[in-house]
Chain A
Amino acid sequence: MMRGMSGIIYKEFIQITRNPATLVIMLLIPIVQLIIFGYAIDTEVRNVRTVVLDLDNSHESREFLNRFRATGLYDLMGQVTSDTALEAEIVSGRASVGIMIPAGYGRELAGGRPAQILVLIDGSNNTIASQTMSTAQTLGIRMSIERVSPRRLSQAQLVDVRTRFLFNPDLRSAAFFVPGLVGVILFLVTMLLTSFAIVREKELGTMEQLAVSPVSRGGLMLGKILPYLLLGMIQMNVVLFFAQFVFNVDIAGSLPLLEGLALIFVFSSLGLGLIISTVAKTQLQAMLISFMILLPSILLSGFIFPRESMPLPIYWISALLPVTYFEEILRGIMLRGAGMEALWDETAVLTGMGLLLLAIATFRFRKTVG
């Protein structure tokens, strides 16, 4: 059944190692991606450019502005002198936030009356907008509470919500992205290289030569899969190594469990790679089809954006992507130290998907090859 497999594996390894540039690129791609996602992409908002129109210019208004500055979120770049200038700064994009303190702010507060402050926010970047808004509101509430005299404060029934981060206490984005990246890279490499390895033989005409040889379909399929399975696992470990020693993202849980579940995951991406190779006639086509699968896998799997906030139809599409479940497993094991008992659901879905995709691949392979 597996006739000819060793011959195919022998040849694939020669071809993989023949061109040192290919090897370097294959090991470099994950590292470059790691650097891009680990360093450059940062969802944490800091130093938002802010202009101030302080019409009050009192002790109270300056104290309020100092509070803003102390958060680190707002970078108070300068003062303007009119409300049209304030708006112009935001429209031009020079600032994202404008704070206006009306005349009489300090006097109203001193007199025990409510005072108002206007914060203009550029809503075009929703991440920046929502963070600057909530911080400004929190600041206002906190100052209001402090102004209530201690005597009345003790009588007030305040709800004290205290939050504590269990994992990733510094909320570093590398900790969030790096485990996700392991999944995306493993998916990319195994799917793309497997489909390339077969389509290349079609383009060369060697597939015909193999078809007249006694190589069995099983032997051909496994011979094509196993080298790239090994390559994918090596790449995953390269990424894990860099994650640990460059980005200080430790693996909280068990490494053998992670490797084992990665192996289960890889079967579905190898299956997809095989299916692509039965559809595509050229390596370019294989690449385009791979990207059609890869793009949703990057954007919808929860690698970058949380799945929970997706619209329902998109949420269901994301449920069809194997990467989605592997991302859960990766973050579970690497960040939360989850064990097998917490990952049964994801493992079951991945196993089912892998078997289904491999079955479809085998069926299609049988029809198109030979």
Chain B
Amino acid sequence: MARTAEEPAIQAEALTMRFGNFTAVQDVSFDVAKGEIFGFLGPNGSGKSTVIRMLCGLLRPSGGHGSILGRDSTREAEAVKRSIGYMSQKFSLYPDLTVHENLSFYGRIYGLGPKLQPRMDAVVEQLHLAPYLRRSAGALSGGWKQRLALACALLHEPRVMFLDEPTAGIDPVARRELWDFLYELAGRGVTLFVTTHYMDEAERCNRLGYIYLSRLLLLGNPDELKGDPRVTPSAARWLEAGLDGSEAPMERLSAMPGVEDATIFGNTLHLLADNSVDAAELGRLCGGLDFREGAPTLEDVFVRLTRLAEREQRTS
């Protein structure tokens, strides 16, 4: 394949993976452009990790193929491994080695040679690791462990980064700092492939893919996804009402015909109502709530599509 300026950083073409009778990934296709932050979402066991493993050249796909920067993930696995950085959800560094030793180990693994020292200085500076160099990795807090993992993954200057739930279990401040850093990387042209369960993190991505039951259900930027006709059927609209401390009549709502997916965000009741349902009447039935037109959230998008997919699977 010729390398052109428009060539995607990551490409999945009809990726399929079968383990015996079980199909873990079915016909998954998407492109990720250079410098893009691509959010890959889906429940546990939906096939997320399998897609990543195929793209990184760890698993040979049963069908279709993946490529990184124009190189086939299976046939050119060696070149692909050199060009990617990988950071897993699990803390995958050596707890008995110091921060410095972890870094120099990964530098050696990638054969950096004389470039090791300047690269190490660079990532230590970027991630502010200098005060911790002599500390053993196992003694770091969750946020600093993630920073070290990121530093190790960045040592060899990968053009494409895979981050598998990078913020699982770290505090909000560390999470914000990590995302700031990811934007910085994307600004420098590094392509980021991020999996997450957090909706606010999904909102931060340029584009999203949602995988469920081995299939890619959705692909697009957050606004496109919220406008998906499957999320808001033509004969329905999203309504919201402030609760002001009053208790929401959730049981009554779920029994009401034409009302679906009622949920609460803080002090706001949020639901999908058929056009035949009158907002004022609904408010009266709920004990004097004032409903107004709302918009679906990303969570609505994923919840709706997951339910639709479940329904489809049950009927087929």
Chain A contact residues, CB within 8 Å of chain B:
3-4, 6-8, 10-11, 14-15, 18-19, 204-206, 208-215, 370
Determine whether B88 belongs to the interface, using a CB cutoff of 8 Å to chain A: yes
Q: Write the nearest CB–CB distance from B224 to chain A, whole angstroms.
A: 31
Kindly state whether residue B288 has any CB partner on chain A within 8 Å.
Answer: no
Contacts A18-B96, A215-B109; A209 near B81 (Cβ below 8 A): no
A-B CB contact pairs (8 Å), 20 listed: A3-B111, A4-B108, A4-B111, A6-B108, A7-B106, A7-B109, A8-B109, A10-B104, A14-B97, A14-B101, A18-B96, A18-B97, A204-B92, A206-B92, A206-B93, A208-B90, A209-B88, A212-B84, A213-B109, A214-B110
User: Residue on B with the closest CB to A223?
Assistant: B109
Chain A residues closer than 8 Å to B58, beta-carbon distance: 211-212, 370
B153's nearest neighbour on chain A, judged by CB, is A209
Residue in A4, A15, A206, A215 with the greatest tally of chain B CB atoms within 10 Å: A206
The 5 closest A-B pairs by CB, nearest first: A7-B108, A205-B90, A212-B86, A205-B92, A209-B92
The distance in angstroms between the C-alpha atoms of A153 and B88, with both chains bound, is: 92
Given contacts A4-B109, A10-B104, 17 further A-B contacts (CB under 8 A): A4-B108, A7-B109, A10-B108, A14-B97, A15-B94, A15-B97, A19-B96, A208-B90, A208-B92, A209-B92, A212-B58, A212-B81, A212-B86, A212-B162, A213-B109, A214-B110, A214-B111
A7 with B105: CB separation less than 8 A: yes
| Inter-subunit contact A205/B91 (CB<8 Å) | yes
- Inside 8 A of A213's CB, which chain B residues have their CB? 81, 106, 109-110
B→A interface (CB under 8 Å)? 56-58, 78, 81-82, 84, 86, 88, 90-97, 101, 104-111, 162
B82: nearest chain-A partner, CB-CB: A214
Q: Count of A-B contacts with CB under 8 A? A: 65
A204 vs B110: C-alpha distance when bound (angstroms): 20
> Which of B88, B97, B109 sits near A205, CB closer than 8 Å?
B88
Q: Please give the distance in Å from A158's CB to the nearest CB on chain B.
A: 73
- Max chain A Cβ within 10 angstroms of own Cβ: one of B78, B101, B109, B111: B109
Whole-angstrom CA separation of A18 from B105 in the bound complex: 15
Contact call A210/B94, Cβ cutoff below 8 A: no
Complexed CA–CA distance, A11 and B105 (Å): 6
Kindly report which residue of chain A lies nearest to residue B109, judged by CB atoms. Answer: A7
A206 touching B94 by the CB < 8 A rule?
yes
Contact of A209 among B86, B97, B104 (CB under 8 A): B86
Chain B residues with CB under 8 A of A6: 108
- Residues in B neighbouring A209, C-beta threshold 8 A: 86, 88, 92-93
Contacts of A7 in B (CB 8 A): 105-109
Residues of B within 8 A of A11 (CB): 94, 97, 101, 105
Can you name the residue of chain A whose Cβ is closest to the Cβ of B102? Answer: A11
